[in-house]
Structure 1
Amino acid sequence: MKAHLSLILVWLLSLTTNHAAQKPNILFILTDDHAYNTLGSYGNNVVKTPVMDTLAQQGTRFTHAYNSGAWRSGMCLPSRTMMMTGLQLWDAADTASSKDLRENFISKQLFFPQLMNQAGYETYFSGKWHIGNNDSSLVHDSFDNVINIRPNMPSAKGSYNRPKPGKPDPWDPTDPKFGGFYKGGKHWSEVLADDGITFIKQASKKKRPFMIYLCFNAPHDPRQSPQQYQDLYKLEDIQVPQPFYPQNPHLETMGLKGMRDEKTAPMPRSEYALRVNRKEYYALISHTDAQIGRVLNALDAHGLASNTLVVLTSDHGLACGHHGLMGKQNMYEHSLRAPWIIKGPNIPSGKTFDTPIYLQSAMTTILDAAGAPIPKHVAFESVLPIINNPKLQKDKPIYGAFLNKQRMVKTKNFKLIWYPKDDIELLFDLQKDPKEITNLSQNPQYASQLDAMRQLLNQQMQSMKDPLVTNKPLPNK
């Protein structure tokens, strides 16, 4: 009898040990052009994002997640290259070609999904790739399961320089005839949700833990979504970012004159055009939110939700009217910052952290949670230590750069933006002026602060191996 009881105890102990050692599944959702200030949980009381807001409520939210910039006008590729390699901006730039990525990462089993493979995970990918000149072979060589590989952005006719006040708008964000997200017959975000559901169904039948990486093209322009999402918003309820700028005074020295993103609304800006663009932006965000909800519901339906770590972020933000700008190629908060939410096993509910992080910490955090190897070259830190011990929070400086046209450094209280071409400096007190309106660089009361921020920027440029310091040419586009 005693022997029988001993066997039962050993069996129960083995079950407990196996359960404790069970690795979490991973659902990693990356959106595109999604500004941090366009979610209800981040303080926007107009946009409707119930799924992402619930995710934030059930998990932990980081309010200050930054992208460090780009060596080319298309900022998505640098951001996603950093995510896949773990390299910071200028190191990533040096190895961004398909050939370099294959030789330096895939052949050495150092790509993000390959590191997850080494930890015992089966990996799945669908959506926007935009890495290594959009080389789809990189996807197939680094992920176990692949469905749809999308280009960097969908092209839609008639979506630029509109609408113009007093003139008929040739564009309809709900009409498939314009192509764009409707190319192929079904909205790309809906197809991606379908793929996510398919992956979850497949993974539920296997013993290995999974990492599903879903990359939305939305809410990148063209800002297209079905009528029911357009109907969520009335034009008169859409707020024009204040103060209103018909044109940013530094557009040319920022390197943005003629930039594709800036052509999504007419120049000079009108309040009407900004309202229309923001209405369509919000509608597309709500549509994306609903598709994310479908994927999360599939986790529940297959009994996987309790042991799945969900990480949601974007590759950068977007101006969409702030500071007279439409794109993300600038150093303002609305364009540098993205939502950053994590929910799952051992993640506290309803927690918020304002400690600054780079959004590519998603990679390291997932590796950390999975018990995967983290190579020495990875520049981004896991947020799990901060979540487990909030005392570890620090006000680390955040660096930003765009081509050789813009540089930025920020602390919790101040930000310095520098435009090297004309040696223009913008100094903002982020506590008193979170909208970054009042330039203090010429204010004598802030002379010492300006000098301190200049020194900090120089330090960051040195540590980042910035081409403006090393005199190294920018990578080819």
Structure 2
Amino acid sequence: MNIGNLPNSPAAGVALSLSLACVAASQASAAPQQTRAAGSRPNVVVLLADDMRAGTIRALGHPEIITPNLDALAKSGVAFTRAYNMGGLTGAVCMPSRAMLMTGRNMFGLDGNGQTINKQHTMLGEVFARNGYSTHGIGKWHNGTESYNRSFASGAEILFGGMTYNQFEIPLAHYDKTGKYDKFEWARDRRQVCDHVYSNRHSAEIFADAAVDFIKSNEAASRPFFMYVAFTTPHDPRQVPQKYYAMYDGKNAAPLPKNFLPEHPFDNGHMTGRDERLLGWPRGKRAVRAEIRDYYATISHLDAQVGRIIEALKKSGQYENTIIVFSADNGLAVGQHGLLGKQSLYEHSIGIPMIWAGPGIAKNAKSEARCYLMDVYPTLCERLGFTIPSSVQTESFAKTLANPAQSHRGGMYFAFRQFQRAYSDGKYKLIEYNVKNTRNTQLFEITADPLEMENLAGKPEHAGLLKTMRDHLLAARPAGDEKMDFWKDFAF
């Protein structure tokens, strides 16, 4: 499917014109320089957003949002419109999702939900290093200090942990070759592993600066590189320069989602988690609109930092020989179904953006091939001719990069803590809940009802379909899940 022209945006005004003008200027100024010979092994840049929902890119059908750089990236490659995170067994969903990405293992094959990484599980960075690449990490790392140094031979501006409480005052660590990462006593958070704190510098800008510096330092390098940049946005706190909020003020204000609810209809097991307490109950329309405005503003700011990194690749002459992967750890509700966080198995919380661009990858295309975030690991291996380690449990979709019409996965399994399990065959999705010995069931036709507003589970005419989907759910259950509390005294 061709992406084609971008849709008209109600937010298109001075802010959008300036954003697009900046992109055009940066592209015009990006005069390529001579680097490693054309046809040599490509560099790889993986850019990971934090809490960015699928579809929150204008080129992918979201007319309210302003993302000129991600729009351009999507048109230069393949945008996967049905990419997912498998879920998590902790409220901090970003921890297992990142561990799955970096190990190629499903959530039930991780140690401690990914808080640390088993030394028998080969990290993605280790595979690149074994194949002669220099490896460099920047930004958020939620999977322990030991696994960081296994993954990267160098790094900069590392955030060890799940989140920051101020995007303009973020505790970071320099790369430590010894792997000790001795922390200092930072008054605001003594638990934080860090050795320096910037004041009045935004985290996304710090990470983009570090990426640009690394790209510049590799202009004349003889070895290809693997660079991983993990942002902490659009995760809250959603603090950005004022001009980004202004993009979504007044007549450009984003509307409430059609599946907005003041409260979730039943207890899903995580109703009072940290994310859900960011607003009171019932959710007020004005308050949710403010959350959406801040969310979109933070995405637009992130988009600008992605643009800076791509511009640096072009100026250094390395863009044409670099595979770029943009994705996110998980999605976010932001008012849909009465929820704010990502601790559910609705499409808004498990769905993630994913764009691939670079040599050997189709251009200006959308793919409806269904994939997990963890599939990125073996896909990169296959695309680059690396042997996939035996510890990897997931599947490559490398063939889809050249042929976006190529399908990948059939049925997909999802889980959240001991409370929720789901199965989707691409057309229908079943979600089962088991919370405090109370059962709830939802069945959606997600192709016709992508916002999951009509529950088919209680309708007699769908009884056969419900039984079939429940059979699929049980058959798809990964090894290790059968031991979880969700299944205790559970029968259909």
Structure-1-length-normalised TM-score:
0.84
Offset at 1:184?
Answer: 2.8
Structure 2 equivalent of residue 112 of structure 1 = 124
Q: Residues 451 and 102 from structure 1, CA distance in 2 versus in 1: closer, same or farther, beyond 3 angstroms?
A: closer
The alpha carbon displacement at 1:470 in A equals: 9.9
Mapped to 1, the partners of 2:313 and 2:227 lie a distance apart of: 11
Distance 1:358 1:95 in 2: 17
Q: 2:82 aligns to what?
A: 64
CA contact (8 A) 2:120 2:391 kept: no
- Matching residue of 1:416: 430
Distance 2:156 2:345 in 1: 35
Cα distance, 1:102 vs structure 2 = 5.2
How far off its partner does 1:435 sit? 1.0
**1:73 maps to which of 59, 69, 91:** 91
Shift of 1:97: 4.5
260-269 or 208-217: bigger deviation:
260-269
Partners of 2:404 and 2:58 lie apart in 1 by 24
* Alpha-carbon distance in 1 for matches of 2:332, 2:204: 19
Is 1:88 paired with 2:97? no
Q: CA–CA distance in 2 between the matches of 1:41 and 1:466? A: 41
| Contact 1:331-1:417 at 8 Å conserved across structures | yes
1:225 to 236, 240, 244: 240
Q: Which runs of 5+ in 2 are unaligned?
A: 1-36, 168-187, 190-196
Give yes or no for the alignment of 1:263 onto 2:277: yes
| Correspondence 1:204 to 2:193 | no
Superposition map of 1:364-443 within 5 A: 364-389=378-403, 392-394=406-408, 396-421=410-435, 422-443=438-459
Alpha-carbon distance in structure 2 between the residues aligned to 1:394 and 1:308? 24
Q: In the alignment, which residue of structure 1 is the partner of 2:22?
A: none
**Match of 1:163?**
none
Q: Which amino acid aligns with 1:246?
A: P
Query: What CA distance in whole angstroms lies between the structure 1 residues aligned with 2:128 and 2:70?
Result: 25
| SS at structure 1 position matched to 2:233 | coil
State the shift of 1:204 in Å.
1.7
Task: Report the Cα distance in structure 2 between the residues aligned to 1:396 and 1:419, rounded to whole angstroms.
Answer: 23
Instruction: Specify the code of the residue in structure 2 equivalent to 1:138.
Output: S
Q: Report the 3-state secondary structure (helix = DSSP H, G, I; strand = E; otherwise coil) of the residue aligned with 2:441.
A: strand
| Aligned mates of 2:149, 2:244 — CA distance in 1 | 34
Matched residue type, 1:118 = R
Distance in 2 (alpha carbons) for counterparts of 1:247 and 1:430: 22
1:144 is the counterpart of 2:153: yes
Bigger drift between 140-149 and 299-308 goes to 140-149
CA distance in 2, matches of 1:243, 1:19: 49
Give the deviation of 1:469 after TM superposition: 8.3
Question: SS where residue 110 of structure 2 aligns?
Answer: helix
Letter of the 2:220 partner, please give it: K
Higher helix share: 1
Structure 1 residues not aligned, in runs of 5+: 1-17, 158-177, 473-477
The 5 Å alignment of 1:48-63 reads: 48-63=66-81
Change (3 A) 1:249 1:469: closer
> By how many angstroms is 1:40 displaced?
0.5
Aligned length in residues? 421
Residues 244, 323 of structure 1: 8 Å contact kept: yes
Q: Secondary structure at the match of 2:234?
A: coil
Alpha-carbon contact 1:119-1:373 (below 8 Å) kept: no
Q: Secondary structure at the match of 2:390?
A: coil
What's the TM-score once normalised by structure 2's chain length? 0.82
Letter in 1 for 2:483: P
**CA distance in structure 1 between the partners assigned to 2:51 and 2:368 by the alignment:** 21
Which of the numbers 256, 279, 284 marks the counterpart of 1:240? 256
Whether the 8 Å CA contact 1:265–1:277 is kept in 2: the answer is: no
SS at match of 1:240: coil
CA distance in 1 between partners of 2:277 and 2:154 (Å): 37
Q: Tell me by how many angstroms 1:328 deviates.
A: 0.4
Report how far residue 377 of structure 1 moved: 2.7
The match for 2:170 is: none
Identity of aligned residues (%): 34
- Alignment partners' CA distance in 2, 1:193 and 1:89: 29
Separation in 2, partners of 1:307, 1:71: 38
Question: 1:33 and 2:70 equivalent?
Answer: no
RMSD: 2.2
Deviation at residue 219 of structure 1 after TM alignment = 0.6
Q: How does 1:195-344 map to 2 (within 5 A)?
A: 195-235=210-250, 237-250=253-266, 252=267, 254-344=268-358
Q: Is the 8 A contact 2:125 2:150 kept in 1?
A: no
